[in-house]
With several copies, the nearest count.
Chain A
Amino acid sequence: MVPVSDEMMKRVHALDLPFNRYGIDPYGIQASTLAEVFTVLSWLYYSYFRVHVSGLANVPSAGRSMLVGNHSGGWALDGIMTMTALFLEPEPPRLAQGMAERFIGRAPLIGQMAKAMGAIVGIPENATHLLEHERLLLVYPEGAKGTEKLYSERNSLVDFGTGFLRLALRTRTPIIPVAFVGGGEAIPTIFNLYKLARRLGVPYIPITPWGLAVPRPTTLQIYFGEPIWFEGDGNEEDVIILRWVNEVKEAIAKLISKGVEERHRIEINRTKATAKTPW
């Protein structure tokens, strides 16, 4: 087990979650697991990567919201760091609960840990339940195709699914666009292994210039955009839904552009900062 600081435990209990006397919430989120894992993640967040966060005020401090992000980097680094930012930065902290691929449900150990951290198998029933219980949901409408992006495609967006938007309409949930920039630099995928992956039961295995997809310590940028409200009941025609999905997609693309634009300046600042604290 990881030694947990008082500060970390305090943040866990500041979360708006109905933990029972054993520190377990109705979705199986475990206070002790959160504290331990966020202890590790906070080191990555503050010390290994340099994470730049912008627009935190757009995330409401309570109530249902749907964070809709772009995939960046060959695996869930984007989601994990977004979760970490929302746990460490705002007061009170918030727990962003990710919609995971189905294999998370079957996978021993890793699946169990993900669930104890609040991840949920990504089916509509689960998303609806979380939102009806005023949770903060983190979704990636690009799906697995998004994490398969190669280095050269790192700041582009692939097709969005439309399910998230109908869900937001049905549950009357605001959508908060989130851009993640730098994942492609941290894990520059040069190609993906598919055949071996299928054998191991995962969709693909990203390969970087140094082989396995261990991220390098680069700058990561997270931009939270302004909440977008759509009015409807979720049974609209596809053509309307697609227009609204594109609105969300464009909002994210705009945030990504901003991130790409600012990246150089932020990295210079980083170099200056690390020059002061050499490790």
Chain B
Amino acid sequence: MKVLITGVSSVPGRLVAELLSRNGHQVMGIDRRPWPGAPSQIPVHRVDLRKRPAEDVFRTFRPEAVVHMATVSYLERSSDDLRHNNLGSTKKVFEYCHNHGAKKAIFVGRHTVYGAASDSPIYHFEDAPPMAGSLYPELADLVAADLYAGQALWRYPELDSVILRIVYELGPHRHSTLATFLEGPKIPTILGFDPLFQFMHEHDIARAIVSALDHSIRGVFNVAGPTPVPLSLLAHETGRTPISLPEVLFPFITGRFGFSRLPPAALDHIKYPILVDDRAFRKATKFAHSYDESDAMIGFRTGDAAKTTNKV
């Protein structure tokens, strides 16, 4: 199958591209950033998704499936230029898919769209309202992109659209929203709160995306891996020192004194959990994670992709 991957130069983008290529698919990538040392069988086009040259890639390659991974979250970037990137580029990708005969489009979204709030359900199902936009302005664009992608399900009935809301990524590449938070040696936590964090190993994320491609599914799906763990345990197991501080001190310490940086609006994310129920996805694709919570945390700590346990 001919598969086009947007945002291919990101860590999960590369992993998905390599996995698909190993599985015998013909893979092409789009990204504004370079992928130095990309395998020769995976051509990468350095174009902006919202500009015409991106459509030319669709026009000439005519992919059967598109994996749209070119979404950014505010913890990674914050420049104004990128503020509307997700919604604008998502619109274009689905339009290109429709115009150029793609049969399947996978939007790789995040579980953070549900928002972290004290009174939200402990596990979110796919039909839960994605509250993050009004809770955190920085996430409004991501929520809109996710919901806009979902509209392709009725707007383009000929296209099998899949919206994945994937939990945090963690693993040896150390390049993700959660990895950024776990950067510093001291991890700030809020006194009296120890929320559960749901994450998966980067290789499992790539495998999950590939299963979404391999099975004939359409719709919105939560994607998760092993049992979530409390923030304090996450910090310990990744070799960091969790330090509990009263909430009022937070604005003064993040990003200083060896503490990880944290945008002010993200505070609720270390007070309240965001957990998703992934039964629908597992049922539809037979996906099972192969790295447990310990593998992911130790993988992140050691930078070693090997499994530490014998679980499958």
Contacts and interface: CB of A to CB of B under 8 A. Distances in A.
Nearest to B273: A28
A123 interface: yes
Interface stretch (B143-151, B172-180, B204-212, B224-232): B224-232
A169 to B, nearest CB: 13
Contacts of B191: 108-109
A34 interface: no
Interface residues of A, number: 31
Given A102-B118, A121-B118, A238-B59, A108 B190 contact: yes
Nearest to B117: A105
Contact of B122 (A20, A30, A108, A121): A121
Interface in B146-200: 190-194, 196
A113 to B, nearest CB: 9
A60 interface: no
Interface in B222-263: 226-230, 233, 247
Nearest to A103: B118
Contact of B229 (A22, A106, A235): A22
B291 interface: no
A124 B193 CA distance: 23
B294 A21 contact: yes
A218 interface: no
B2 to A, nearest CB: 16
Contact of B119 (A18, A20, A105, A116): A105
A111 B60 contact: no
Nearest to A23: B233
B22 interface: no
B119 A129 contact: no
Interface residues of B, number: 32
A24 B273 CA distance: 15
Nearest to B246: A108
Contact of B194 (A25, A102, A112, A163): A112
Contacts of B233: 22, 24
A25 B293 CA distance: 12
B271 to A, nearest CB: 9
Contacts of A26: 227-228
A120 interface: yes
Contacts of B193: 108, 111-112
B121 A105 contact: no
Interface string A111-151: 11000100011010110010000000000000000000000
Contacts of B192: 107-112
A162 interface: yes
Interface in B33-82: 52, 56, 59-60
A237 B294 CA distance: 49
A107 B247 CA distance: 12
22 contacts: A18-B227, A20-B227, A22-B229, A22-B293, A25-B227, A26-B227, A26-B228, A28-B273, A30-B230, A102-B119, A105-B119, A108-B192, A109-B192, A110-B192, A112-B193, A120-B122, A125-B122, A125-B123, A126-B121, A126-B123, A129-B277, A238-B59
Interface of A: 18, 20-22, 24-28, 30, 102, 105-112, 116, 120-121, 123, 125-126, 129, 162-163, 235, 237-238
Given A108-B190, A109-B192, A129-B277, 17 more contacts: A20-B229, A20-B293, A22-B293, A24-B227, A25-B227, A27-B122, A28-B122, A28-B196, A105-B118, A111-B192, A116-B194, A125-B122, A126-B123, A129-B121, A129-B123, A163-B52, A235-B100
Task: Rank and list the top 10 A-B pairs by shortest CB-CB distance, nearest first.
Answer: A108-B192, A105-B118, A125-B121, A109-B192, A106-B118, A20-B227, A28-B196, A102-B119, A105-B119, A129-B123
